[in-house]
């Protein structure tokens, strides 16, 4: 006869499963980053992995700009899957994005009304947590997990969310570095072409003069 698993053992097994799920999710995203997949693919993967791992109703990646506007670049819903992206709205309190932007660290927010974004209003979320995405020391955006019920928020979720923001920041920094290299290559090629024309013209003029003297 099988003995029932004690509560401490059951809790330990659940924690092991949680850690295994988290590491598997991080590895899947890290693989995309290592393959230098387009940022959009990384963003979409992070939104889905975060939502599933943290048991969120909705999860999104928001891009912040210097003017105070926020653009959703990827999103996932437990009910509908991927969410529409490129929705832009103005940053203001009380929202998860605003709280994280203000404090520059992970934040947990109770929303007293729908968030500014259409996705949050449609999903009816009232609680959310977010973590900043910092690229080269500057706030690039925020990863958010949002919930319709407070009891769905899990302890330590902010720290787990922050593990994904590091991967997003790496993907963005790598993309920026590749773009800078391409720009420098184009500039060098342009300078080489511009510098080569006068030399060619001088050589041609020299040959013409030699032919005239012959």
Residue 175 corresponds to which tokens in the numbers above?
A: 């993309």
CATH 3.30.450.40 fits 7-182, yes or no: yes
- pLDDT (0 to 100) of residue 211: 43
How would you write 151-190 as a 3-class SS string?
HHCCCCHHHHHHHHHHHHHHHHHHHHHHHHHHHHHHHHHH
CA distance 59 to 53: 10
How many angstroms separate the CA atoms of 115 and 96, rounded?
A: 8
pTM across the whole model: 0.76
Nearest to 47 by CA among 118, 159, 144: 144
Q: What are the average pLDDT values for consecutive 10-residue runs of the chain, which has 214 residues?
A: 61 81 91 90 93 92 89 89 77 82 89 58 81 92 91 84 90 86 78 57 53 49
Q: For residue 94, say if its preceding peptide bond is cis, omega within 30 degrees of 0.
A: yes
């Amino acid at each position: 006869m099988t003995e029932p698993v004690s509560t401490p053992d059951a809790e330990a097994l659940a924690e092991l499963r949680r850690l295994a799920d988290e590491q598997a999710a991080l590895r899947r995203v890290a693989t995309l980053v290592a393959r230098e997949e387009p940022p959009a693919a990384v963003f979409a993967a992070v939104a889905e992995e975060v939502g599933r791992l943290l048991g969120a109703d909705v999860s999104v990646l928001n891009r912040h700009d210097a003017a105070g506007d926020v653009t959703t670049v990827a999103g996932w819903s437990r009910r509908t899957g991927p969410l529409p992206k490129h929705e832009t709205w103005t940053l203001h309190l009380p929202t998860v994005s605003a709280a994280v932007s203000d404090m520059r660290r992970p934040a947990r927010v109770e929303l007293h009304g729908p968030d500014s974004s259409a996705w949050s209003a449609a999903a009816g979320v009232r609680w959310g947590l977010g973590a900043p995405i910092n690229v080269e020391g500057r706030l690039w955006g925020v990863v958010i997990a949002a919930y319709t019920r407070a009891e769905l928020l899990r302890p330590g979720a902010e720290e787990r969310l922050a593990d994904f923001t590091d991967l997003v920041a790496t993907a963005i920094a790598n993309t920026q570095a590749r773009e800078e290299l391409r720009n420098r290559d184009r500039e060098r090629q342009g300078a080489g072409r511009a510098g080569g024309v006068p030399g060619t013209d001088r050589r041609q003029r020299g040959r013409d003069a030699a032919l005239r003297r012959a």
